[in-house]
Amino acid sequence: MGWLAVVNEYGFQRMKDGKPEIRRCPCQSGADEKLIAARLRNIDGLTDAERQVEFLWFNVTPDNRDGFQAVVAATQDMRRPHGFVVLSGPPGIGKTMLSMCAVNDARSRGYASVYMTAKDLLDHLRASFAPDANTTYDARWELITKASVLAIDELSLTAAKPWAIEQLEELIGIRYRRIGDMLTIIATNHPIDSFTPKLTSRFSDRLVVRPNLGTLDFRKWRSQP
Ligand SMILES: Nc1ncnc2c1ncn2[C@@H]1O[C@H](COP(=O)(O)OP(=O)(O)O)[C@@H](O)[C@H]1O
Ligand SMILES: [Mg+2]
Protein backbone atom coordinates (compact mmCIF):
# COMPACT_ATOMS: atom_id res chain seq x y z
CA MET A 1 0.00 0.00 0.00
CA GLY A 2 1.19 3.51 -0.77
CA TRP A 3 3.58 2.50 -3.55
CA LEU A 4 3.13 2.89 -7.31
CA ALA A 5 4.84 1.08 -10.19
CA VAL A 6 6.84 3.43 -12.38
CA VAL A 7 5.96 3.04 -16.06
CA ASN A 8 7.74 4.23 -19.18
CA GLU A 9 6.19 6.34 -21.94
CA TYR A 10 4.67 3.18 -23.49
CA GLY A 11 2.95 2.20 -20.26
CA PHE A 12 5.34 -0.70 -19.47
CA GLN A 13 6.74 -1.15 -16.00
CA ARG A 14 10.23 0.33 -15.72
CA MET A 15 12.95 -1.93 -14.29
CA LYS A 16 15.82 -0.91 -12.05
CA ASP A 17 18.62 -3.32 -11.06
CA GLY A 18 16.52 -6.21 -12.36
CA LYS A 19 13.49 -5.31 -10.25
CA PRO A 20 10.30 -3.36 -11.11
CA GLU A 21 10.85 0.28 -10.16
CA ILE A 22 8.42 1.65 -7.61
CA ARG A 23 7.89 5.07 -6.08
CA ARG A 24 5.97 6.47 -3.15
CA CYS A 25 2.40 7.49 -3.95
CA PRO A 26 1.90 11.27 -3.44
CA CYS A 27 -1.06 10.40 -1.16
CA GLN A 28 1.54 9.08 1.34
CA SER A 29 3.45 12.34 1.78
CA GLY A 30 1.94 12.80 5.26
CA ALA A 31 3.03 9.29 6.23
CA ASP A 32 6.54 9.97 4.93
CA GLU A 33 6.74 13.18 6.97
CA LYS A 34 5.83 11.20 10.12
CA LEU A 35 8.39 8.51 9.36
CA ILE A 36 11.16 11.05 8.74
CA ALA A 37 10.12 13.00 11.85
CA ALA A 38 10.41 9.89 14.04
CA ARG A 39 13.89 9.10 12.68
CA LEU A 40 15.06 12.70 12.99
CA ARG A 41 14.05 12.74 16.64
CA ASN A 42 16.76 10.15 17.31
CA ILE A 43 19.52 12.33 15.90
CA ASP A 44 18.18 15.67 17.09
CA GLY A 45 20.70 17.66 19.12
CA LEU A 46 18.16 19.26 21.46
CA THR A 47 17.79 18.40 25.13
CA ASP A 48 14.30 17.98 26.63
CA ALA A 49 14.48 21.52 28.03
CA GLU A 50 15.55 22.95 24.68
CA ARG A 51 12.60 21.25 23.00
CA GLN A 52 10.34 23.56 25.02
CA VAL A 53 11.92 26.80 23.76
CA GLU A 54 9.47 28.80 21.68
CA PHE A 55 9.24 32.07 19.77
CA LEU A 56 7.15 33.57 22.59
CA TRP A 57 10.18 33.46 24.86
CA PHE A 58 12.31 35.47 22.48
CA ASN A 59 12.82 38.99 23.70
CA VAL A 60 12.34 41.19 20.64
CA THR A 61 14.41 44.38 20.62
CA PRO A 62 14.78 47.00 17.87
CA ASP A 63 18.16 45.42 17.10
CA ASN A 64 17.04 41.81 16.65
CA ARG A 65 13.50 42.41 15.29
CA ASP A 66 14.70 41.93 11.72
CA GLY A 67 16.15 38.48 12.50
CA PHE A 68 13.21 37.42 14.62
CA GLN A 69 10.66 38.35 11.97
CA ALA A 70 12.64 36.68 9.19
CA VAL A 71 12.85 33.37 11.04
CA VAL A 72 9.18 33.45 12.14
CA ALA A 73 8.06 34.23 8.58
CA ALA A 74 10.12 31.42 7.05
CA THR A 75 8.95 28.91 9.68
CA GLN A 76 5.29 29.81 9.82
CA ASP A 77 4.78 30.27 6.10
CA MET A 78 1.17 29.53 5.11
CA ARG A 79 2.22 26.81 2.69
CA ARG A 80 5.00 25.10 4.62
CA PRO A 81 8.31 26.14 6.21
CA HIS A 82 10.68 27.13 3.46
CA GLY A 83 13.61 29.33 2.60
CA PHE A 84 17.24 29.68 3.53
CA VAL A 85 18.27 31.83 6.47
CA VAL A 86 21.83 32.54 7.55
CA LEU A 87 22.23 33.93 11.06
CA SER A 88 25.71 35.25 11.60
CA GLY A 89 27.14 37.48 14.25
CA PRO A 90 28.94 37.50 17.59
CA PRO A 91 28.12 35.07 20.43
CA GLY A 92 25.09 35.65 22.62
CA ILE A 93 22.81 37.47 20.18
CA GLY A 94 20.26 34.63 19.95
CA LYS A 95 21.27 32.65 16.86
CA THR A 96 20.97 29.29 18.61
CA MET A 97 17.78 30.25 20.41
CA LEU A 98 16.07 31.34 17.19
CA SER A 99 17.16 28.15 15.42
CA MET A 100 15.71 26.06 18.24
CA CYS A 101 12.46 28.07 18.21
CA ALA A 102 12.06 27.42 14.47
CA VAL A 103 12.68 23.69 14.80
CA ASN A 104 10.31 23.35 17.77
CA ASP A 105 7.61 25.44 16.14
CA ALA A 106 7.68 23.50 12.85
CA ARG A 107 7.83 20.18 14.67
CA SER A 108 4.80 21.05 16.81
CA ARG A 109 2.92 21.57 13.53
CA GLY A 110 3.90 18.15 12.20
CA TYR A 111 6.93 19.04 10.05
CA ALA A 112 9.95 16.77 10.22
CA SER A 113 12.53 19.07 11.78
CA VAL A 114 15.98 18.70 13.23
CA TYR A 115 18.56 20.85 15.01
CA MET A 116 22.20 19.80 14.89
CA THR A 117 25.51 21.50 15.33
CA ALA A 118 27.69 21.20 12.22
CA LYS A 119 30.11 19.07 14.23
CA ASP A 120 27.41 16.61 15.35
CA LEU A 121 26.01 16.44 11.85
CA LEU A 122 29.40 15.50 10.40
CA ASP A 123 30.05 13.03 13.25
CA HIS A 124 26.68 11.45 12.56
CA LEU A 125 27.48 10.98 8.87
CA ARG A 126 30.99 9.75 9.64
CA ALA A 127 29.68 7.21 12.16
CA SER A 128 27.81 5.41 9.39
CA PHE A 129 31.18 4.01 8.22
CA ALA A 130 31.73 2.18 11.54
CA PRO A 131 31.33 -1.61 11.24
CA ASP A 132 28.57 -1.64 13.89
CA ALA A 133 26.62 1.31 12.40
CA ASN A 134 22.88 0.70 12.47
CA THR A 135 22.08 2.73 9.34
CA THR A 136 23.95 3.42 6.13
CA TYR A 137 25.55 6.65 5.05
CA ASP A 138 22.91 6.99 2.30
CA ALA A 139 20.05 6.62 4.79
CA ARG A 140 21.56 9.26 7.08
CA TRP A 141 22.25 11.58 4.20
CA GLU A 142 18.73 11.25 2.86
CA LEU A 143 17.22 11.97 6.27
CA ILE A 144 19.13 15.23 6.62
CA THR A 145 18.54 16.38 3.07
CA LYS A 146 14.80 15.67 3.32
CA ALA A 147 14.00 17.28 6.68
CA SER A 148 11.35 20.00 6.29
CA VAL A 149 13.39 22.12 8.66
CA LEU A 150 17.13 21.67 9.13
CA ALA A 151 18.97 23.97 11.51
CA ILE A 152 22.76 23.68 11.38
CA ASP A 153 24.29 25.53 14.30
CA GLU A 154 27.89 26.61 14.94
CA LEU A 155 28.99 26.32 11.35
CA SER A 156 32.74 26.70 11.22
CA LEU A 157 35.37 25.52 8.79
CA THR A 158 38.25 26.24 11.15
CA ALA A 159 40.37 23.07 11.06
CA ALA A 160 37.78 21.31 8.88
CA LYS A 161 39.13 18.41 6.81
CA PRO A 162 38.45 18.26 3.04
CA TRP A 163 35.86 15.50 3.56
CA ALA A 164 33.91 17.68 6.01
CA ILE A 165 34.02 20.67 3.68
CA GLU A 166 32.84 18.53 0.78
CA GLN A 167 29.92 17.17 2.82
CA LEU A 168 28.85 20.62 3.95
CA GLU A 169 29.13 22.09 0.49
CA GLU A 170 27.07 19.31 -1.01
CA LEU A 171 24.44 19.35 1.72
CA ILE A 172 24.05 23.11 1.58
CA GLY A 173 23.89 22.95 -2.22
CA ILE A 174 21.06 20.40 -2.08
CA ARG A 175 19.14 22.31 0.57
CA TYR A 176 19.59 25.51 -1.39
CA ARG A 177 18.10 23.93 -4.52
CA ARG A 178 15.04 22.94 -2.46
CA ILE A 179 14.66 26.42 -1.02
CA GLY A 180 11.01 26.56 -2.12
CA ASP A 181 10.02 23.37 -0.27
CA MET A 182 12.06 23.26 2.88
CA LEU A 183 13.66 25.54 5.41
CA THR A 184 17.38 25.60 6.15
CA ILE A 185 18.79 27.74 8.93
CA ILE A 186 22.53 28.17 9.31
CA ALA A 187 23.95 29.82 12.42
CA THR A 188 27.56 30.87 12.68
CA ASN A 189 29.86 33.20 14.58
CA HIS A 190 31.95 33.64 11.43
CA PRO A 191 31.40 36.27 8.75
CA ILE A 192 29.69 34.96 5.63
CA ASP A 193 32.67 35.76 3.42
CA SER A 194 35.03 33.64 5.53
CA PHE A 195 33.80 30.28 4.18
CA THR A 196 34.83 28.49 0.97
CA PRO A 197 33.94 30.27 -2.29
CA LYS A 198 31.11 27.78 -2.87
CA LEU A 199 29.53 28.33 0.55
CA THR A 200 30.09 32.06 0.55
CA SER A 201 28.49 32.31 -2.87
CA ARG A 202 25.40 30.36 -1.72
CA PHE A 203 25.10 32.39 1.48
CA SER A 204 25.37 35.62 -0.49
CA ASP A 205 22.64 34.66 -2.96
CA ARG A 206 19.76 37.07 -3.20
CA LEU A 207 17.26 34.33 -2.22
CA VAL A 208 19.10 33.71 1.03
CA VAL A 209 17.89 35.77 3.98
CA ARG A 210 20.67 37.23 6.13
CA PRO A 211 18.83 39.14 8.81
CA ASN A 212 20.41 41.42 11.32
CA LEU A 213 20.35 40.24 14.93
CA GLY A 214 22.21 43.19 16.39
CA THR A 215 25.14 42.83 18.75
CA LEU A 216 23.58 42.67 22.22
CA ASP A 217 25.03 39.68 24.08
CA PHE A 218 22.07 38.31 26.06
CA ARG A 219 24.36 36.25 28.27
CA LYS A 220 26.10 39.38 29.54
CA TRP A 221 22.85 41.37 29.63
CA ARG A 222 21.22 38.71 31.84
CA SER A 223 24.09 38.64 34.30
CA GLN A 224 24.03 42.42 34.85
CA PRO A 225 22.91 43.46 38.35
N1 LIG B 1 16.15 37.61 22.23
C2 LIG B 1 16.37 36.83 23.28
N3 LIG B 1 15.44 36.71 24.22
C4 LIG B 1 15.65 35.96 25.33
N5 LIG B 1 16.77 35.24 25.53
C6 LIG B 1 17.74 35.32 24.60
C7 LIG B 1 17.58 36.11 23.43
N8 LIG B 1 18.70 35.99 22.69
C9 LIG B 1 19.50 35.15 23.36
N10 LIG B 1 18.93 34.76 24.51
C11 LIG B 1 19.50 33.87 25.51
O12 LIG B 1 20.86 34.23 25.64
C13 LIG B 1 21.70 33.09 25.64
C14 LIG B 1 22.61 33.12 24.43
O15 LIG B 1 21.82 33.01 23.26
P16 LIG B 1 22.22 32.06 22.06
O17 LIG B 1 21.02 31.84 21.24
O18 LIG B 1 22.92 30.85 22.58
O19 LIG B 1 23.25 33.00 21.30
P20 LIG B 1 24.23 32.69 20.10
O21 LIG B 1 23.83 31.38 19.52
O22 LIG B 1 24.05 33.85 19.17
O23 LIG B 1 25.60 32.65 20.68
C24 LIG B 1 20.78 31.88 25.65
O25 LIG B 1 20.57 31.45 26.96
C26 LIG B 1 19.50 32.42 25.04
O27 LIG B 1 18.40 31.70 25.50
MG1 LIG C 1 25.01 29.63 19.38
pLDDT band, very low/low/confident/very high, at 22 (cuts 50, 70, 90):
confident
CB of residue 64 inside a 6 A radius of ligand 1: yes
Residue 41's φ and ψ, nearest 5 degrees, are: -55, -35
Domain holding 113, by residue range, is: 33-222
Query: 167 in a domain, yes or no?
Result: yes
CB of residue 118 inside a 6 A radius of ligand 1: no
Q: For position 16, what pLDDT does the model report?
A: 79
Domain count of the fold of the chain: 1
Region of poorest pLDDT, from 74-88, 144-158, 190-204, 210-224: 210-224
Q: For position 75, what pLDDT does the model report?
A: 97
**Contact in structure between 4 and 23 (CB atoms under 8 Å):** yes
Per-residue pLDDT of 24-78, as tens digits, reads 676 665 667 788 888 888 888 899 999 999 999 999 999 999 999 999 999 998 8
Whether 138 shows a pLDDT value over 80: the answer reads yes
Q: Model's pTM, two decimal places?
A: 0.87
Query: 15 in a domain, yes or no?
Result: no
CATH number where 157 lies: 3.40.50.300
Torsional sign, CA 56, 61, 62, 64: negative
- Please tell me the distance between residue 128's alpha carbon and the centre of ligand 2 in angstroms: 26
Q: How far is CA 149 from CA 35, 131, 201, 214, in A?
A: 15, 30, 22, 24
Query: 142 in a domain, yes or no?
Result: yes
Query: 113 in a domain, yes or no?
Result: yes
Label the pairing between strands 113-117 and 149-153. Answer: parallel
Q: For position 93, what pLDDT does the model report?
A: 96
The closest of 91, 94, 33 to 60, measured between CA atoms, is: 94
CB of residue 67 inside a 6 A radius of ligand 1: no
Which atom of ligand 1 is least distant from the CA of 53? 27
Query: 12 in a domain, yes or no?
Result: no
pLDDT band, very low/low/confident/very high, at 182 (cuts 50, 70, 90):
very high
- Please tell me the distance between residue 168's alpha carbon and the centre of ligand 2 in angstroms: 18
Q: For position 141, what pLDDT does the model report?
A: 93
CB of residue 68 inside a 6 A radius of ligand 1: no
